[in-house]
Amino acid sequence: MLTSADELASVVALSAEERAGLDASAKLFRIGLTPYYASLMDPQHASCPIRMQAIPRAAEANIRDEELRDPLGEDTHNPAPSVIHKYPDRCLFLVVDRCGIYCRHCNRRRLVGGDEPPTTADLEAGLEYIAKTKRIRDVLMSGGDPLLLSTRRLDYLLGRLRAIPHVETIRIGTRLPVVCPMRIDGELCAALAKHHPLFINTHFNHAVELTPEARAGCERLVDAGVPVGNQTVLLRGINSSVRSLRALMRALLRVRVKPYYLFQGDTVLGTDHLRTPVEDAMRLYEGLRGWMTGMAVPMLVADAPGGGGKVPLVPSYIDSLDETTVVLRTYRGDRIAYPQPRERDCSVPYDEIYFANEPADDDREGSR
Ligand code: SF4
């Protein structure tokens, strides 16, 4: 890992702003990136998307009143060590506190890059909580970056989760396909393929990150039967243009990675300079929707501060609505009337037959 101003200066001509950010960094958030990711930096231009994600700016030290240490309210949804359980049927399982890059926009900066990795006892307590909480259908293994665990350790933890009967799907959140694609080797793919249905959510923010190595890494995962989705963070001055977002989404689809979320920046400490006004975010979204295949269009969401969860930020495509007619606004701005159906009863009689022996979601044992 490159972790100091001197190491970075050996790769790029640091700007005054970057030097100021690096000088202040000890009080901000750990610095670190893989040599591979550093090799993608534009040595001359400080506006390079890789540099702006990896090297702090002086603005990171300007903490605003509205910024939060824990913007998603995770610390109040922490029923067991290493588990964050905020939504009804799914939880986070934080298995490691290290990353392959310390992203300057990270919303979990309070937890990652420190010196207190989850202990074996923490992970056991987390597994115990998941095993006894039967409403959990989906576990998102995160951290830190779970793919930094040895393949053997990861395989073991996935096996423990897979052995819990009510855990239907497992997801892994990782930036290693972006910052260390060589980690996605045959041994790892074979280990992951043992635990289907297993999904990977990765985190590309700019088309420049989709190098031949990164594309090959993603394709190795998909070839192993692992569906890969991408979560992009909308970052002002890094990817906050229609051109940049379209190029990224198209590049992802070409390697069979599905754009999943486009996140409005969270209100985490020291990131005001990276956040995009919501009205601009929605304008950018309108530059995607309809102009490219729906497969390439992620859902634009904001994570509500304090633990409210993800809220879709959807520009209105409805001009007016009544019981007879909806006036739709198309992606080109045309107004077209859509006639409502005359019958309005939406009940599904066959539900009573098909789900006759299945308890309602909230009736699962342990759901309260
Ligand atoms: S890889 Fe993820 S958890 Fe790690 S610093 Fe980046 S955004 Fe945060």
**Mean pLDDT along residues 47-76:** 94
Atom of ligand 1 nearest to the CA of 142: 3
Q: What is the pLDDT of residue 260?
A: 98
Give all strands of the β-sheet with 335-339 in edge-to-edge order. Answer: 318-321, 325-329, 335-339
- Report the separation in Å between the CA atom of 69 and the middle of ligand 1, taken as the mean of its atom positions: 15
Other Cβ atoms within 10 Å of 92 Cβ, number: 23
| Ligand 1 binding site (Cβ under 6 Å of any ligand atom) | 99, 101-103, 106, 108, 112, 145, 175
Residue of minimum CA distance from atom 5 in ligand 1: 102
**99: CA distance to ligand 1 center in Å?**
6
Mean pLDDT for the stretch of residues 135-142: 98
Unique residue bearing structure tokens 């098909």: 354
Instruction: Grade residue 27 by pLDDT with cuts at 50, 70 and 90.
Output: confident
Strongest mean pLDDT among 75-79, 106-110, 298-302? 298-302
- Quick count: other Cβ atoms within 10 Å of Cβ 119? 11
Q: What is the mean pLDDT of residues 16-31?
A: 91
Question: In this predicted structure, what is the pLDDT of residue 358?
Answer: 85
pTM for the model stands at 0.95
Residue 364 pLDDT = 53
Cα 350 to averaged position of ligand 1 atoms, centre (Å): 45
Mutate to test the pocket of ligand 1, among 104, 105, 175 (most ligand atoms within 8 A of CB): 175
- Give me 241's structure tokens: 């243009």
Above 90 in pLDDT, residue 114?
Answer: no
| pLDDT at 4 (0 to 100) | 94
CA–CA gap between residue 237 and residue 11 (Å, rounded): 22
Report the separation in Å between the CA atom of 102 and the middle of ligand 1, taken as the mean of its atom positions.
6
Mean pLDDT of 335-347: 97
182-203 in b/e burial notation, b at 16+ Cβ within 10 A?
Answer: ebbeeebbebbeebeebbbbbb
Rounded-to-10 torsion of CA 242, 243, 246, 249? -110
Give 209-236 pLDDT, tens digit per residue: 999 999 999 999 999 999 999 999 999 9
Buried b / exposed e over 282-291, threshold 16 CB at 10 Å, is bebbbbbeee
Mutate to test the pocket of ligand 1, among 30, 145, 238 (most ligand atoms within 8 A of CB): 145
Tokens 């309070």, residue located? 110
